[in-house]
Structure 1
Amino acid sequence: MSITDSDQPAASGLLPAITALRTAAENADGDALAEILAPDVIFHTPLTSRICFEGSTEVTALHRDIFAVIKDLSTTEPLTRGDTGVFTFSGNVRGLKLDAMNLVRVNEQGKIVEFTIFARPLPALATLFATLPPRVTARRRGRAKGALVAALAAPLGFALRTADVFVPRLI
């Protein structure tokens, strides 16, 4: 059951699209995700505002990488209004719990045209940053560049996981 604003009911294809997205995420099923994306879909990552992923082929491939890195995904019931819905999800990245919110917009055909992820806490997000971009880079640009991205991103994940152990004790 979703919570919907009565002044502006959900677009007819929104709830089925979100339900399919949640099911695809919980089952780590990139093929199922591909079926609900518009050809010109745009995905905004929580890792950087410098790039976004565009097109159903690239967004599907990215989610295969995401599903390989984030384990034990679970989702919540969505909130909807008009052509937009949100739901939260959680999972584990290298043993750290990641909590996130997915903001989804659909077109008139009920296909996802845009979605944005917001995530927390920072140590889990930094671990995701150290884990996912090397995998995506290796797929898109080759193993050598993937290794370079891993070398650049790994210290951030380590630093924030370490800080998360000590800083709260000092606050």
Structure 2
Amino acid sequence: MKAFRELVESSIESGSLAGVEDLLADDVVFRSPVAHKPYPGKAITTAILNGVARVFEDLHYVSSIEEGNRSALVFETRIGDTTINGCDFITTNDEGLITEFTVMVRPMKGATALMEAMAAQFPQIEADAIAFTERQR
């Protein structure tokens, strides 16, 4: 998805994906490469994506595939000295809003680094999701 890619490329180095919530449907579902259960909803997905922006270093997209309302954005990034290759699989609705966001990463060392970094972020992610929900009321 071009709009998401442009947002990431222009703002990830700031440690925030300001405005990402405007690209998400209210009923978006986020599927993590390191969690077994999906995360439904705009608040938690926004918070998770901002958490990722805080832990990924030097993220850049290397290619993309667009077909109808589905996109695959292939990326490279680092967490510390661990290089990660991954892909964001994005599905959008008729309004162009993201309804499904699935991330896959490799190698295992990279997935482990991501799991550990995001676990450290999770208290902030939960607090951000709660604050987002309260602002929407």
Q: TM-score range by the shorter chain?
A: 0.7 to 0.9
Q: Which residue, out of 23, 34, 43, partners 1:47?
A: 34
Would you tell me which structure has more strand in proportion to its own residues? 2
Match of 2:25 in 1: 38
Match of 1:116 in 2: 102
Amino acid aligned to 1:92: R
Q: Tell me, in whole angstroms, the C-alpha distance in 1 between the residues paired with 2:5 and 2:110.
A: 21
Amino acid aligned to 2:52: I
Amino-acid identity (%): 21
Shift of 1:138: 4.8
Shift of 1:111: 0.4
Shift of 1:35: 1.2
Unaligned runs of 5+ in 1: 1-17, 142-171
2:70 aligned with 1:84:
yes
SS in 2 for 1:31: coil
SS in 2 for 1:116: strand
2:111 aligned with 1:125:
yes
Number of paired residues? Answer: 123
Amino acid aligned to 1:70: F
Q: Deviations over 1:41-72 (max 9, x none)?
A: 101000022x2222112111111111000111
> TM-score, normalised on structure 1?
0.67
2:83 aligned with 1:97:
yes
Q: Is the 8 A contact 2:63 2:75 kept in 1?
A: no
Q: Tell me, in whole angstroms, the C-alpha distance in 1 between the residues paired with 2:46 and 2:115.
A: 19
Q: Using CA pairs below 8 Å that are at least 6 residues apart, which structure has the higher relative contact order?
A: 2
Match of 2:6 in 1: 23
